[in-house]
Structures are given as C-alpha cells and as structure tokens.
Amino acid sequence: MKSLVETDELGFYGKFGGAYIPELLYPAVEELRKAYLKYKDDTSFEDEFKALLKDYVGRPTPLYYSEKLSEKYGGKIYLKREDLCHTGAHKINNTIGQILLAKRLNKTQIVAETGAGQHGVATATVCALLGMECIIYMGEKDMERQAPNVQRIKYLGAKVIPAVSGSKTLKDATNEAIRHWINNPDTFYLIGSVVGPHPYPSMVAYFQSVISEEIIRQLQEKEGVNHPDKVIACVGGGSNAAGAFYHFYDVPEVDLIAVEAGGLGVKSGKSAATAQLGKPGVIHGSYTLLMQDEFGQITEPHSISAGLDYPGIGPLHAETIHSGRVDCIAINDDKALDHASFLAKSEGIIPALESSHALAVLDHLKIKKDEIIVINLSGRGDKDMSTLTQNME
C-alpha cells in the first residue's frame, strides 16, 4: 500500500496537491523535482545534510519528559525540543536541506518570503553559511511588527524587500517572491513550509522528518516502545507537524493531532482555522484548503502567533485531515497565552506562541494512565516576548 506521505506522479496526496504554476516556471520546478528525487537517496548528500544537522543545528534535539505536565494531565508527556535548534525553531532543518540542493544545482541567488521573520532568519542563516546571495520579501506591515527579526536578517547579510501591495503581509510577500522568481528563473526559491507547488510539500516534509525519526529512537531508549500513543503539533503551513507525524502516518495506533489557530474564535471572523473554515482552491501553486470568501478571494487570517497566521494549509494536511487520519483542533489566542505562561513558570521553558497552541490541546484530551504523548515544541518564545509581557496578569 502507498504510504500517506507519498504523492502520485503529479504531486497529489489523494485529492490535494499538484503544481499550479505559470508556464515560465515549469523548467525551474521540473529541474528542482528531478534534483530532489536524485539527491534524496544520494549518500554524499545525506551525509552532508546529517553532518550539518548534528554540528550546526545541534541535533538530535532532546525529548524531554515533563513531570509537571504529566502530573497535571496524567499520562507521560514528552516535549520534543525543536526550540533548542540553532535560530530557535524547526525551520532551519528544512533551510539546510534546500540550500544543499541549491548548491548541487549551482545556484548563487536565493529568494524567500517571510511573515514573522523566522523563515527569513533561517534562510539568511544558511545563505551566510554557504556564501549565497539572499533576498527576502516581507510585508511592510510585518516588517514593523517583527522589527527584531528584520534586524537579524539584515545583520546576516541578506537584503529585505518590503511588499507594499494588498494587506502588506505574508501572502503579499509570497506573491512578490514568486514574481521575482518568474523574472529570474535561475534563482532558487526556498519555501519555508509544506506548501507551494510539487515537489515543495514532499521535499519540506522529508527534510523535517528527522523530527519523528529521532522521536522513535528516543522513545525506544526511554520507554522501550516503538511509537508514542499521541503526537501533537501546531499547524501554520504545517512543516513542524509534517516532520513530527512523518514516520507515524502509516502506524494507525498513533493518534495524530494537528492544532490550528482559532484566533478570537473559529466563528469570530478573526481566526486562521484553515482546516475548519477553508474550502478547496489553489493558493501559491497548490490545490488545498484555504480561507476564501464566496468570490474565491482569500480572506485575511488572524492569529496572535505570526507563524500560524496563514490562510492556507499544506496539501498533505488537507488530505489527512479530510480523510480522518489526523484530528484537527483549533485553539484560541487566550488559551495559547495561558499555556505559554504555565510552561514558563512550571518548567522554565518559554515556548513560542505557535507551540503554545499545541500545549493547550491537553485541556481537550481524555488521557489514559501510562499513555505516551509527544508534543512538538516547534520553537522558543524569545521572539514573542513583547506579546507575552503585554498579556501578563
């Protein structure tokens, strides 16, 4: 039987996926697809990727048993510490993989977009590492909201270009980055999540799959089991969730729970609950679920966490949530804030606001004694300190 993480020839996971791109980009996307298939199973590529993950990113990241969460909720609750990766989140796993592919393709210029700036920082970081020119598009409004990350990106030697169209946020920056790519097809477009045209969703999920690979090894060591009972991860585009779920999609005993941003409430008109509110359509080159109005215009999402503030969701998640393999729960802004505060005060770990949504799902589960639960702590909260302190009681 075909694995749930595999697509067909055209890049579809069941109904969702594909590559909806302008004719001009076809050669670039085809070149990338071939390179990905070639190097995915190439030992020297694999060795270089794994060596950087180990010595540059700091992998394996710990699987930390949280006594406080286990006491409060029951079961055995583990945190997969992606917050301890270099640059503070899981995003660097993928940017390392893609920059090594860009090098194999003899590319010298990298273009990317960023919303909160986390993917921009991870991209600027690997471009500095490999000596490549780096251009980051960012919505003008996001540049104001995320000023510290703009500074980091510039300090790393990258160029930041403001996107001034539309709502001046992530989807506008993405449109500008794609435009840049169309005008400069020799540029390597480095996408930050499991979104975009095939092969990006498969490729990004594969580069992030190191997360579940490590979880398996670490649970064998700590608990003597081959898999957890539940894995929980937040979903913006869905790359940290795809990585944490990857080796468990085809193990039906493992419950997979995706957590999206409920914002001020799923029915409030101010949320980013794409799986629940979205309808099928094409966004940024892929057929998937997206939040749109009756005329097919993309609706503006809202979440307190910039990383979840995206109107689409990766096609792998659209398919697996649609089929019922993955459960999806929305968590509102206020609950995410409460759980960030609880983890900080009880464990001394300040989580990213995105990851705090995953923690908050614990309030919604019936947990059996001895059940093993892994929560993917996708990033650390340093970038969120101003929001976190404004909401301190």
Contact positions with ligand PLP (CB under 6 A) in 374-393: 378-379
Cβ burial of 52 (10 Å; 0-12, 13-18, 19+) is buried
Give me the 90-109 binding string for ligand PLP, x by CB under 6 A, dash otherwise: -x------------------
The torsion of the CA quartet 264, 204, 169, 130, rounded to 10 degrees, works out to 140
Q: Does 236 bind ligand PLP (CB under 6 A)?
A: yes
Determine which residue in the list 25, 84, 89, 191 makes contact with ligand PLP, applying CB under 6 A: 89
CA angle 187–192–197, rounded 5-degree value: 70
Is residue 113 annotated as a catalytic residue, yes or no?
Answer: yes
Contact positions with ligand PLP (CB under 6 A) in 176-215: 193
> Which residues, in sequence order, are bridge partners of residue 110?
134, 188
Token pair listed for 289: 């679920």
Give the number of residues in contact with ligand PLP, rule: CB under 6 A. 18
Contact positions with ligand PLP (CB under 6 A) in 243-302: none
Q: Does 57 bind ligand PLP (CB under 6 A)?
A: no
Is residue 345 annotated as a catalytic residue, yes or no?
Answer: no
Determine which residue in the list 238, 278, 285, 311 makes contact with ligand PLP, applying CB under 6 A: 238
Determine which residue in the list 247, 354, 360, 361 makes contact with ligand PLP, applying CB under 6 A: 354
Decide: 253 and 215 in contact? Cβ < 8 Å: no
Question: Interacting stretch for ligand PLP, rule CB under 6 A, among 54-62, 149-157, 159-167, 352-360?
Answer: 352-360
Question: Cβ 116 to ligand PLP, closest distance in Å?
Answer: 6
Q: Return the biggest CA–CA distance within the chain.
A: 57
Q: Does 239 bind ligand PLP (CB under 6 A)?
A: yes
* H helical segments located in 139-226: 140-145, 147-155, 170-183, 200-208, 210-223
User: Which residue of the set 76, 80, 82, 113 is catalytic?
Assistant: 113
Token pair listed for 51: 């060596």
> Which residues, in sequence order, are bridge partners of residue 135?
111, 159
Q: Does 315 bind ligand PLP (CB under 6 A)?
A: no
Q: Does 240 bind ligand PLP (CB under 6 A)?
A: yes
Is residue 366 annotated as a catalytic residue, yes or no?
Answer: no
Determine which residue in the list 97, 237, 285, 301 makes contact with ligand PLP, applying CB under 6 A: 237
Question: Cβ 313 to ligand PLP, closest distance in Å?
Answer: 8
With respect to ligand PLP, which residue has the nearer C-beta, 61 or 378?
378
Q: Does 235 bind ligand PLP (CB under 6 A)?
A: yes
Residue (of 32, 6, 3, 5) closest to 285 by Cα position? 32
Give me the 116-155 binding string for ligand PLP, x by CB under 6 A, dash otherwise: --x-------------------------------------
Question: Interacting stretch for ligand PLP, rule CB under 6 A, among 32-40, 173-181, 275-283, 351-359?
Answer: 351-359
Question: Cβ 357 to ligand PLP, closest distance in Å?
Answer: 9
Token pair listed for 148: 């510290």
Decide: 373 and 230 in contact? Cβ < 8 Å: yes
User: Which residue of the set 76, 80, 82, 91 is catalytic?
Assistant: 91
Q: Count CA atoms within 13 Å of residue 292 on its CB side.
A: 15
Token pair listed for 248: 């468990």
Cβ burial of 98 (10 Å; 0-12, 13-18, 19+) is buried
Spatial distance between the Cα atoms of 173 and 98, rounded to a whole number of angstroms: 20
Question: Cβ 59 to ligand PLP, closest distance in Å?
Answer: 16
Full DSSP string of 229-294:
SEEEEE-SSSHHHHHHHGGGTT-TTSEEEEEEEEET-TTTT--B-HHHH-EEEEETTEEEEE-B-T
Q: Does 361 bind ligand PLP (CB under 6 A)?
A: no
Task: Give residues in contact with ligand PLP (CB under 6 A).
Answer: 89, 91, 118, 193, 234-240, 307-308, 352, 354-355, 378-379
Catalytic residue positions, numbered: 91, 113, 378
